[in-house]
Amino acid sequence: MSDTATAGAPMRVVIADDQTLVRTGFRLILKEAGITVAAEAANGKEAVAAALQHRPDVVLMDIRMPGMDGLEATRRILASKPGGGCRIIILTTFDLDHYVYAALTAGASGFLLKDTSPEQLVAAVQTVRSGDALLAPTITRRLIERFAAPQPDQFISHAALSGLTARELQVLRLLARGLNNAELATELTVSTATVKTHVASILAKLQLRDRVQAIVLAYQIGLAGPLPGSPAQADLEPPGAAPSTPAGAE
């Protein structure tokens, strides 16, 4: 989180969207909730400049903007030292969008549909500011299942995976199913505090920003179940069945 995201400190947000009405509406909603809008941006270049100047806790980032889009702006903000601590929520019209998936893999903490309710918008900003990933389990999993390409080499290149304990691997698999802390605690018969400890350890060992990236990794390396075209999946298909369509090939 940013330096300002300390207990009791006022929350500060940057809104980046090329539509003035969208920015105005979001600003009014956040203001009503006592959240400060530090700056607004109409394109990716302005969003990067605003984030680096104001160091907000959260950036609401439209994925499709003229010039530099939200994806590139997300990459630049999170790659910079001043912006590396802020959380980015992607704003989109379509949930199953390749650009949204790319933004999640680049480090965005989640995404919201633009027609979200005021209550959901405020809750989303508060959630990511607290350090959690913004996960709508069903939508997020559908998005990742569609666009996450299997990368067998990850087993070799992601050497840190071997450093996970058996319990942490189990937690990672359950994270890929979209379970939240309470659901994980129930599934594992442990406290939510223990779950948080396991998740924090997984993210630290794998050098991931949050749960979204953990879920993407789980799909890429096959921990989330049989990947399209894998031998495991082929064993489950009836004889003569047509080959499965790779995710994202529709």
pLDDT tens for the 250 residues of the chain, in order: 444 444 567 899 999 999 999 999 999 999 999 999 999 999 999 999 999 999 999 999 998 898 999 999 999 999 988 877 889 998 888 766 777 788 888 888 888 888 889 999 999 998 888 776 666 555 666 777 677 666 555 543 456 678 899 999 999 988 887 777 888 999 999 999 999 999 999 989 988 888 878 888 887 777 775 434 433 333 323 333 333 333 333 3
DSSP-derived 3-state class of residue 183 = helix
Q: Any idea what DSSP says for residue 40?
A: E
In 3D space, the residue among 70, 66, 95, 67 whose CA is nearest the CA of residue 15 turns out to be 70
Domain 150-230: CATH architecture, name and number where available: 3-Layer(aba) Sandwich (3.40)
What per-residue confidence (pLDDT) applies to 24?
Answer: 96
What's the pLDDT at 159?
62
Give pLDDT, residue 230: 37
Same fold, 12-134 and 150-230: yes
Tell the CATH superfamily of the 12-134 domain.
Response regulator (3.40.50.2300)
CA 137 to chain centre: 11
What is the pLDDT at residue 148? 67
**Exposed/middle/buried for residue 49 (C-beta within 10 Å: 0-12, 13-18, 19+):** middle
pTM score: 0.72
Give CA–CA dist 114/246, Å, rounded.
29
The pLDDT of residue 213: 81
Burial of 217 (0-12, 13-18, 19+ CB in 10 A): buried
Pairwise CA distance, residues 78 & 101, whole Å: 16
* Residue 56 to residue 76: CA distance in whole angstroms: 15
The pLDDT, as a whole number, for residue 105 is 80
Q: What is the pLDDT of residue 42?
A: 96
User: Are 134 and 109 in contact, with CB atoms under 8 Å apart?
Assistant: yes
140, exposed or middle or buried, with CB in 10 Å at 0-12, 13-18, 19+? buried
Token couple for 248: 């994202």
* Residue ranges of domains in the chain: 12-134, 150-230
